[in-house]
Chains A and B, each alone.
Chain A
Amino acid sequence: MLQAIPLLLVVSIVGFTLLHLVPGGPLDVYLGSPNVRPEDIARLRRAYGLDQSLPVQYGAWLVGFVRGDWGYSYTDGRPVLTRLLERVPATLELMVSALSIALVVAMVVSLWRATRPRGAGAVEALSVAGISLPVFWLGLVAQLVFAVALRWLPSSGRVTYDGAGLADRLRHLVLPALVLATVHVAAWTRYLGASLDGVLSAPWMRAARSRGVPRSLLMARHALRPALLPFVTVVLLDAALLVSGAVVTESVFAWPGLGGLFAEALARRDYALLMAFLMLTSTAIVSLNLMADVAYRWIDPRLRAT
């Protein structure tokens, strides 16, 4: 908890300095435009407080940020916080689906592998392939195959038209969620596999086996539960990565979430929005890290005692 605040301060200072390094400052985009007169720029500069020194501007930004006043988007003038918040549901929907898919697949695959040593080589190769995939390319290929060639699923967006039914929304969700899940399935299968291997050779497993515990129960209760212990932390830490990893998937699939908004803001150099996004993602990462700490203590009784 105590580390969280300095970290957020550092991110904000790095981000703020970067965004104000541009020669023209955040108003750089307007400088070349024939429709914007020099006096307009001067007025905007005063309105956004850009005529003040960098530390003063940062101070003003920080005070506003803490109060929930995150500034106004440079592209459409609406409050940044509003623009971000309206994108949160779509991103959460995508993240939660991707996480659930990745979790289930990783658990099933590593349990299957643990009981059949001959499948280990194939699982290993597939998981190395999974972590080597460029996510955006995987997205493009998935679009080409399932949307363009086979026409099974829509290629992009979240709904076909406003108010479309649940089936339509699910069909839109399939490709981006699977693509976002792939990398994590690969990484988690490796991790959980290693963790399971450690548990399977434990003495209590041999004891349970010799008592005649059926194999399904043996795997589900005796092996999976202790193996999941270290895994929970990994999942929570990776969920934090998912927040920023969604940027790629969302822009490939034109998913109307935070990541897509970030890519748009980057293309248009909407600095207020970029800054807010950086703060939002680092806050999310920091809170998930804290949750990982707490969860670890909560799950492992040995740690709770201390």
Chain B
Amino acid sequence: MTAIAARPPASPARTALLLAAGIAAVALLLPVLAPHAPNAIDLAARRVGPSAAHWFGTDDLGRDVLSRVLHGARLSLFVGLASAVVTLVLGVGVGVASGWRGGWLDTLLMRATDALLSMPRLPLLMVAAAILEPGAVALAVLVGGTGWMETARVVRADVLALRERAFIDAVRASGAAEWRILVRHLVPNAAPTIAVAATLAVGRGILLESALSFFGVGVRPPAPSWGNMLYQAQQSMTTAPWVALTPGACIFATVFVINALGVRLARSGPEVRPA
């Protein structure tokens, strides 16, 4: 049966998986490199500029900025990655259901998608996060749960095109069960689209976590995340700018790499859909 089915180009899916594994590995390994404990307070060394002992200086409480950034990577990257997983599960689920089944289900799901797209996402998330005070997992669910609509749209478009293709008829004629067609043949062939959507979702998840934490409603202190380090750094912007510059540069660099990869994937795929 696999002989009939068009084998999906493996590279985008594999690249995305490699990316996810890479991020996870970095997040797990980085804290090991930290020269100090992330929450070790040293009131004698408050707001010390970059030096040999503290490469990126210290913050208001004398905590080592480098160590906090390295530890903060874990929470920021976790929220980014986990929110992307939520986005993908919902987006691919809705997209496939909508495109494969068609009819009233398609109309209903696409109307709902349109409606959700025109919600003020950031303010709603800020209100929800302020009130629900979510932990890292709940935060990822909130961020991912409000961002699946674009993914659903592009996946649906792919499914609409794929389901008319001969190989799907061939698989069906050979007696495959419906779920098997979906899981083994339809979704793998939408992999390039899904991979691009995944990279965008990871980047956006990291940015949203940092924005929420920046307003003090995301990851709660004292646990460091790149966003909440910026929140705490606001007060000492002029006296200790390194406290704000370092975590922001980390967010930027990480999201840039992920987005650049997404652009690459989009270009190598059969159909180019700019974000």
Contact = CB atoms under 8 A, between A and B. Distances in A.
Q: Tell whether A and B belong to one assembly.
A: yes
Interface of A: 3, 6-7, 10-11, 14-15, 18-19, 21-22, 124-125, 128-129, 131-137, 140-141, 143-144, 148, 187, 190-191, 194, 240, 243-245, 247-248, 251, 262-263, 266-267, 269, 274, 277-278, 281-282, 285-286, 289
Given A187-B275, A194-B274, A14 B237 contact: no
B120 A281 contact: yes
A132 B256 contact: yes
Contacts of B263: 124, 128
B215 A266 contact: yes
Interface stretch (B20-28, B47-55, B127-135): B127-135
B65 interface: no
Contacts of A148: 237-238, 241
Interface in B218-264: 230, 234, 237-238, 241, 244-245, 248, 251-252, 255-256, 258-260, 263
Residue from the set A11, A128, A136, A137 with the largest chain B CB neighbour count within 10 Å: A137
B191 interface: no
Main SS class of interface, A: helix
Contacts of B244: 137, 140, 144
Nearest to A148: B238
B237 A278 contact: no
Contacts of B252: 129, 132-134, 137
Contacts, number: 124
Interface string B203-221: 1000100110011110000
Give the 3 A-B residue pairs with the shortest CB-CB distance, closest first: A137-B248, A281-B120, A132-B255
A274 B259 contact: no
Contact of A132 (B111, B114, B118, B259): B259
A240 B118 contact: yes
Given A134-B207, A137-B244, A285-B118, A247 B123 contact: yes
Given A128-B256, A187-B275, A247 B126 contact: yes
15 contacts: A6-B115, A15-B124, A15-B127, A18-B132, A128-B256, A132-B259, A134-B230, A135-B211, A140-B248, A141-B245, A143-B237, A148-B238, A148-B241, A190-B274, A247-B126
B214 A136 contact: yes
A37 B233 CA distance: 37
Contact of B274 (A191, A240, A269): A191
Contacts of A6: 115
B131 A19 contact: yes
Which residue, B120, B126, B216, has most C-beta atoms of chain A within 10 A?
B120
Contacts of A194: 272, 274
Contacts of B126: 247, 262, 266
A21 B133 CA distance: 12
Contact of A136 (B115, B211, B259): B211
B122 interface: yes
Nearest to B227: A134
Contacts of A11: 119-120, 124
B121 interface: yes
Given A136-B210, A282-B120, 9 more contacts: A134-B255, A137-B244, A141-B245, A243-B120, A248-B211, A248-B214, A262-B123, A266-B217, A278-B120
A295 B131 CA distance: 39
